[in-house]
Amino acid sequence: MKLLNKYLEFAVFLMLSSGLITCSSAGSNENAVAKIDWDKFADYWYAGKAEITRYALEQARYGEIRKGEAVLIFVTENFLTDKQVKHEFGESENATTVLKLNFVRKFYTGIYPYSMMSSIFTPVDVSRWPTLKVTTTSQEWCGHTFTQFNHRDDKYKVQLRSYFQREGDQDFEVKSTLLEDEIWTKIRLAPNSLPTGEIEIIPGTQFSRFRHTELKPEKATAALKTEKDQSLSSTELQVYTIDYETLERKLVIRFEKELPFKIVAWEEHHTSGYGPGAEVMTTRAVKTHSVYTDYWTKNKKSDSHWREKLGLIY
């Protein structure tokens, strides 16, 4: 897990010197990326450490609110664009730097637990590359599922493995478009590059597991605004909202306005339960603890105090 810091710093230098992140008439995405303070970015994300944040979770499931916790782990690493795995050894012309997010969500429904995790791999140079890979697993006592997106040949190739009869094993393609899952990494990289207005977006893979919805582009309206909320942060916040037209779903993410754009809270408004009694409920998550460390070296019994620093329950 140890990062090749010199390599990563050199990669940023190459992007800057080659003009990949300069103001351009090619589109607002390049302009937004060019506004990032890349020296400050490198100081934070290329220091050989990860940001781990714990959130108090109130999860709507089966028509009731369940207490739980979510953890977001952000870290940069080297990634092979052809094999779409971590670049661990050898030289390759297909290596790039990605911001990886491991998104963990855990809660109980009565007697049995839910454990979900998504991994999102978004290249640091968001003006040049789309998100290359997303994987999501869901485990609960009814069974487990696995979903994977790989960006290849200007489309997403999707694998779905499920024990549910209606889903089974599927391999299919969807056109290359915005993923809800990559909103989280794009916020941390270049939030001003987030699209607004009428958009097309593929809903989040964790949401699709809850609702068993088809993984396909949906129409939505997106907005980015600024607000102050002293209960969440002493600094000014930005709020990104995605309101789906047909899914009875709205996602609201609040994050700090200044780099490194820390995510402080989010809400998901969606239908919970089944049948005519199903209602739109609100899932909420609010930041409680955060640490910045090379967690992959903290694997001894004596390191368990780090869990207390994070306030972890599960």
Q: DSSP per residue over 136-168, as a string? A: EEEEETTEEEEEEEEEETTEEEEEEEESSTTT-
pLDDT along the chain (314 residues), means of 10: 42 40 43 74 96 98 96 97 94 94 97 97 91 97 96 97 92 97 97 96 96 94 95 93 95 96 97 83 98 97 96 94
Residue 110 placed within a domain: yes
Task: Report pTM.
Answer: 0.89
3-state secondary structure of 193: helix
306: tokens are 């780090």
Residue 314 placed within a domain: no
In angstroms, the Cα distances linking 176 to 126, 156, 240 are: 14, 6, 22
Residue 81 placed within a domain: yes
- Say which residues have a Cβ less than 8 Å from residue 207's Cβ, sequence separation at least 6: 180, 213, 249, 268, 270
Residue 180 placed within a domain: yes
Q: Model confidence over 80-105: pLDDT tens digits?
A: 999 999 999 999 999 999 999 999 99
DSSP β-ladder status, 178-179 and 197-202: parallel
In angstroms, the Cα distances linking 279 to 57, 150, 153, 205, 272 are: 19, 34, 40, 21, 6
Residues 228 and 252: their CA atoms lie apart, in Å, by 15
Residue 121 placed within a domain: yes
Range of the domain at 44: 5-298
The one-letter amino acid code at 101 reads L
Residue 305 placed within a domain: no
Residue 88 placed within a domain: yes
* 151 in Cβ contact with 128 (< 8 Å): no
Residues 314 and 310: their CA atoms lie apart, in Å, by 11
Residue 26 placed within a domain: yes
Domain count, the chain: 1
